[in-house]
Amino acid sequence: MKIHEFQAKQLFATANVPVPQGVVVTSPQDAGKAFDELGTPVAVVKSQIHAGGRGKGRFKEHPEQAGVVLVKSREEAIANAERMLGSTLVTIQTGEEGKQVSTLYVEQGLDIARELYFGIVVDRESGLPCIIASAEGGMAIEELAEEHPEKIIRIEYDPGEGLQAFQVRKLAYALELDKAAQKSAMSFFPKLCKFFADNDCSMVEINPLVVTGSGDLLALDAKVSFDDNAMFRHKNFDELRDLSEEEPNEVKAQDAGLSYVKLEGNIGCLVNGAGLAMSTMDLIKLHGGEPANFLDVGGGANVDQVTEAFRIILSDENVKAVLVNIFGGIMKCDTIVEALLAAYDKIGITVPLVVRLEGTNVEVARKMLADSGKKIITATDLTDAAQKVVATLSA
């Protein structure tokens, strides 16, 4: 689960991680008011979307307008907010379609001496949180990793013990922090590392982490995502969720207890089991097709869930054919067919449908399909199914 910059900064502040002062606004008038409230000679108006690269991003409706701007007066704050609110911001991370901005964060302008990069992710190999840092801030870490991998510092730490003093010194040395900033680092880095573990984060990225003229470290930008599997431990995070930032079908699927991820292709997939879903996608690709989604109905899906699954797949207008691949274990093949036939009647399936069934009650299920009188293509095994569904597209 991702959250907005202003939400991440509010959480940082509660964990005593220093952030600039800021005000959340949703109207140009309030942006002006926020400028006055902050009382700094310069303020920064920042678009709140779940994507980075806003500073370099531009609005579709106002090609000159950046997603993050420095303003020096109340009037300037209002004028920028007017262009930003309700408009669509396109950045390297949003894709061409961009994202509509409905909230702004107005922040005090800081006296920036240095911009650093700091992030924490989970390293799967060691199973530990890993700090990724660099003295080269402001730049995309992916580019830096390609061009100057030697400039990236990696430090793993024990989430139970927290970041140790010797690790902070190592980090401060590698980031070439001066005396004043080193002092600030002794509290900044351990607090952030604790924040990461306490909140079950999957990623924290601060780009840039700045050193101010007076040697203080501050999180100037903040990107935080949480591990969805740990959300039951953080019920209070529910209110941080911004559904308008999520793929509507993925939200619907989540509510129905289905695992669904939208993809770019045109073959809809309805499968039980994540492993089978992955191999189904692989086989579709192997035979020249492109999956439109990953969808795992799970081991114990009922008729309602399967109907919802069909509805979600078919609501994607890119879907030109559907492949149902079921291995009946706990889930019985006849349950799937029952749901499939019900869905057929309820929503009307107009694209070619290829079904491959195997496992518990497969005989009954096949007979139900054959007796249904519906236009359904059956397949004997996975390869056959993949070939048949790809063939429907060229037919």
Enumerate binding residues for ligand ADP (CB under 6 A): 20, 44, 46, 52-55, 68, 107, 109-110, 112, 138, 207-208, 220-221
Q: Residue 220's binding partner, choosing from Mg ion, ligand ADP, none, with beta-carbon cut-off 5 to 8 A by kind?
A: ligand ADP
Q: Are 324 and 361 in contact (CB under 8 A)?
A: no
Q: How far is the CB of 112 from ligand ADP (least distance, A)?
A: 6
Q: Residue 107's binding partner, choosing from Mg ion, ligand ADP, none, with beta-carbon cut-off 5 to 8 A by kind?
A: ligand ADP
Q: Residue 68's binding partner, choosing from ligand ADP, Mg ion, none, with beta-carbon cut-off 5 to 8 A by kind?
A: ligand ADP
Q: Are 74 and 39 in contact (CB under 8 A)?
A: no
Taking the least distance from each CB to ligand ADP, the nearer of 6 and 196 is: 6
Q: Are 101 and 57 in contact (CB under 8 A)?
A: no
Q: Residue 291's binding partner, choosing from ligand ADP, Mg ion, none, with beta-carbon cut-off 5 to 8 A by kind?
A: none
Q: How far is the CB of 221 from Mg ion (least distance, A)?
A: 3
Q: How far is the CB of 207 from Mg ion (least distance, A)?
A: 4
C-alpha span between 143 and 282 (Å, rounded): 29
Candidates 5, 76, 157, 205; catalytic one: 205
Q: How far is the CB of 55 from ligand ADP (least distance, A)?
A: 3
C-alpha span between 70 and 333 (Å, rounded): 61
What are the backbone dihedrals phi and psi of residue 110, each rounded to the nearest 5 degrees, phi first? -105, 155
Q: Which of 128, 177, 131, 182 is nearest to 153 (CA)?
A: 131
Q: How far is the CB of 93 from ligand ADP (least distance, A)?
A: 8
C-alpha span between 117 and 132 (Å, rounded): 8
Q: Residue 153's binding partner, choosing from ligand ADP, Mg ion, none, with beta-carbon cut-off 5 to 8 A by kind?
A: none
C-alpha span between 316 and 333 (Å, rounded): 25
Report the DSSP beta bridge partners of residue 205.
119, 223
Residues that bind Mg ion (CB under 5 A): 207, 221
Taking the least distance from each CB to ligand ADP, the nearer of 112 and 377 is: 112
Q: Could you tell me the two tokens for 193?
A: 């590392």
C-alpha span between 151 and 127 (Å, rounded): 23
Cα-only R_g, the chain: 26
205 is known as an active-site residue: yes
Taking the least distance from each CB to ligand ADP, the nearer of 55 and 190 is: 55
Q: Are 197 and 162 in contact (CB under 8 A)?
A: yes
Binding site membership for substrate: which residues? 272, 329-331
Q: Closest residue to Mg ion, Cβ-based?
A: 221
Taking the least distance from each CB to ligand ADP, the nearer of 208 and 273 is: 208
Taking the least distance from each CB to Mg ion, the nearer of 65 and 207 is: 207
Taking the least distance from each CB to ligand ADP, the nearer of 55 and 359 is: 55
Q: Residue 110's binding partner, choosing from ligand ADP, Mg ion, none, with beta-carbon cut-off 5 to 8 A by kind?
A: ligand ADP
Binding site membership for Mg(2+): which residues? 207, 221
Beta strands in 50-190 (DSSP E): 58-59, 68-71, 88-90, 99-100, 104-108, 112-123, 128-134, 153-156
Candidates 117, 157, 260, 308; catalytic one: 117
Taking the least distance from each CB to Mg ion, the nearer of 221 and 334 is: 221
Pairing state of beta strands 267-271 and 321-328?
A: parallel
C-alpha span between 56 and 140 (Å, rounded): 12
Binding site membership: which residues? 46, 53-55, 107, 110, 115, 207, 221, 272, 329-331
Q: How far is the CB of 103 from Mg ion (least distance, A)?
A: 17
Cα dihedral 302, 303, 308, 314, rounded to 10, equals 130
Q: Which of 310, 301, 307, 263 is nearest to 282 (CA)?
A: 263
Q: Are 358 and 326 in contact (CB under 8 A)?
A: yes
Q: How far is the CB of 182 from ligand ADP (least distance, A)?
A: 22
The catalytic site residues sit at 117, 205
